[in-house]
Structure 1
């Protein structure tokens, strides 16, 4: 007997965004001595002036909870009505159970579907695509998507290639059904031939030997990642716009993963974005927060430019794997992000 089920085939959109930024601000002057560098060198290479580091009392879960509660409040949606929670992170310190299950218990809906995804800096955009498809098919009505990292726990403070880049924070969005299209098709994929460009080493198996007990740190081939992001991601962004029926000329905002300022500006130039397009450059004061960077940058941009509420934006994440995902979206309406 055949299944009797008709997909809803409805639209979806981001209803609200929330963010959590640790209060501890780390200027470049606190980084330079340990990596034999200078504030000027860091600014020229990355555009970063400062970043946020979580304190000992702040965790992946506590930061996620704060961002989610803000998004829920702004959306007017009760946590009891949330059907699924997706957490994108690479810094939750437990292999299992997931960060998402710990989070839903704190948020008050322990029965919701909950799972983590590991797609590094592309994780949030992966989550947005998955949540949109869950809603469009009828498997969920409301989905919380979280991007969160505590990268300060996994960054070698003496590594000249990464110590000044990575930071901590959380961002979350509520995605729900919509009468009109609010999230375009996801353009996603990988370039696994460059898998070694960003690594966390050693593996947990390596650490099983007490004689070599240590702690994993992130390593990165900076030039390889830079070239890949600049030359390979701009076409992906253009594909995402075309899939949603948009062009650079009809776009209102560009919110890329906050890798560094040079990558952001180079991508915008490669896509030939007009000057009318608002570009998120939160990396200047927040650093690279991996999976959290897109929603945090979205929240910052809407705070700086409230006129962008309800307007179109291109979001794109890319990182270790190497993996990527991009979507054209409509930003949350003004009433949902106060």
Structure 2
């Protein structure tokens, strides 16, 4: 990965906007249950594609790479509300690529790590030279505001990395899989086909069995981590899981026996669960905090709807603090 760039919508939503099942203080209730304090909500002008464009431009600026050098664009998303065309084609055009291959990838909250694995293989086999991998989600219109257990968890945003050639493996072998038998754990209230047959029904919104997802994640993710660690003895400096909620992250970290020196990403507290965008957003935050550095080896794992998962070791890319203009670049990463 050569660089990372992000976009967070400016509307910051605090816990006070929500209600709780027992009419208790929403901030205290949500902090205790999820660790989340704020999340970003996209505006009417924000789309999956426009947020992806903003993140992609930032990543290109950081890498010092022109759009003409990008030959493939992959957008990981579950919330692009057009069946066709793909968001990636719009992104490729808007950033100024020249006939780049472009496609969307849908794997829920593990979409980014799935897309990263595809990009790494494209570059390593010579099919592509520079691939933009973007996780972009506009989840908030897909939520039921009356669902007090689900709606407060989620936010919107986009994160992008530029994958390019290197003299060493900066993206490790992926460990991935799925369990479609549990697909009902994260789904939507009705199918689009059912809604189109009966327009008097409510449009589909996100539906999630939170306790079931928690139990599955804290059992599965440590197994994925063990598989990845068994294939290498490299020193891991950072752990960046999908930012589902703080309780899941803490439970996974406790059960994996990672050394206490490993920095654990905690962007969920400020951004909520942003699905496929959560890992690149958390990567940016971790780098900005200086808890991890460019070139450090990080373990990233995405997990969620499907139920699907994917994880790999990566070398952390170059970045610019979000407060700095993107006219200059951080020292270039080497992987």
Common topology (TM > 0.5):
yes
Which range moves more in the overlay, 34-43 or 252-261? 34-43
**Which residue is equivalent to 1:21?**
8
**Which residue is equivalent to 1:71?**
59
CA contact (8 A) 2:299 2:313 kept: yes
CA contact (8 A) 1:241 1:327 kept: no
**Which residue is equivalent to 2:316?**
331
User: How far apart are residue 149 of structure 1 and its match?
Assistant: 0.5
User: How far apart are residue 103 of structure 1 and its match?
Assistant: 0.9
| TM-score, reference length from structure 1 | 0.92
Asked whether 1:232 is paired with 2:199, we answer no
**What is the rounded CA distance, in whole Å, between the counterparts of 2:298 and 2:201 in structure 1?**
45
User: How far apart are residue 39 of structure 1 and its match?
Assistant: 1.5
Ranges in structure 1 where 5+ consecutive residues have no aligned partner? 1-13
SS in structure 1 opposite 2:311? strand
SS in structure 1 opposite 2:331? helix
**What is the rounded CA distance, in whole Å, between the counterparts of 2:70 and 2:14 in structure 1?**
38
CA contact (8 A) 1:117 1:127 kept: yes
Give the CA RMSD over aligned residues.
Answer: 1.5
**What is the rounded CA distance, in whole Å, between the counterparts of 1:159 and 1:26 in structure 2?**
16
**What is the rounded CA distance, in whole Å, between the counterparts of 1:269 and 1:87 in structure 2?**
32
**Matching of residues 145-184 of structure 1 within 5 Å:** 145-184=133-172
CA contact (8 A) 1:255 1:298 kept: yes
**Which residue is equivalent to 1:6?**
none
**Matching of residues 8-47 of structure 1 within 5 Å:** 14-32=1-19, 36=23, 38-47=26-35
**Which residue is equivalent to 1:85?**
73
SS in structure 1 opposite 2:223? helix
**Which residue is equivalent to 1:98?**
86
User: How far apart are residue 212 of structure 1 and its match?
Assistant: 2.6
**Which residue is equivalent to 1:215?**
203
Asked whether 1:316 is paired with 2:301, we answer yes
CA contact (8 A) 2:179 2:307 kept: yes
**Which residue is equivalent to 2:112?**
124
Among candidates 119, 128, 132, match of residue 140 of structure 1? 128
**What is the rounded CA distance, in whole Å, between the counterparts of 1:36 and 1:217 in structure 2?**
24
Among candidates 173, 190, 193, match of residue 202 of structure 1? 190
Count, aligned residues: 321
Among candidates 290, 299, 319, match of residue 284 of structure 2? 299
Ranges in structure 2 where 5+ consecutive residues have no aligned partner? 319-329
**Which residue is equivalent to 2:270?**
285
CA contact (8 A) 1:68 1:146 kept: yes
User: How far apart are residue 289 of structure 1 and its match?
Assistant: 0.1
User: How far apart are residue 214 of structure 1 and its match?
Assistant: 3.1
Which range moves more in the overlay, 36-45 or 183-192? 36-45
SS in structure 2 opposite 1:177? coil
User: How far apart are residue 193 of structure 1 and its match?
Assistant: 1.6
SS in structure 2 opposite 1:212? coil
| TM-score, reference length from structure 2 | 0.92
CA contact (8 A) 2:242 2:279 kept: yes
**What is the rounded CA distance, in whole Å, between the counterparts of 1:89 and 1:34 in structure 2?**
30
CA contact (8 A) 1:16 1:75 kept: yes
User: How far apart are residue 99 of structure 1 and its match?
Assistant: 0.5
**What is the rounded CA distance, in whole Å, between the counterparts of 1:290 and 1:298 in structure 2?**
14
CA contact (8 A) 2:20 2:29 kept: no
**Which residue is equivalent to 1:5?**
none
CA contact (8 A) 1:19 1:70 kept: yes
User: How far apart are residue 238 of structure 1 and its match?
Assistant: 2.1
**What is the rounded CA distance, in whole Å, between the counterparts of 1:176 and 1:211 in structure 2?**
47
CA contact (8 A) 1:171 1:296 kept: yes
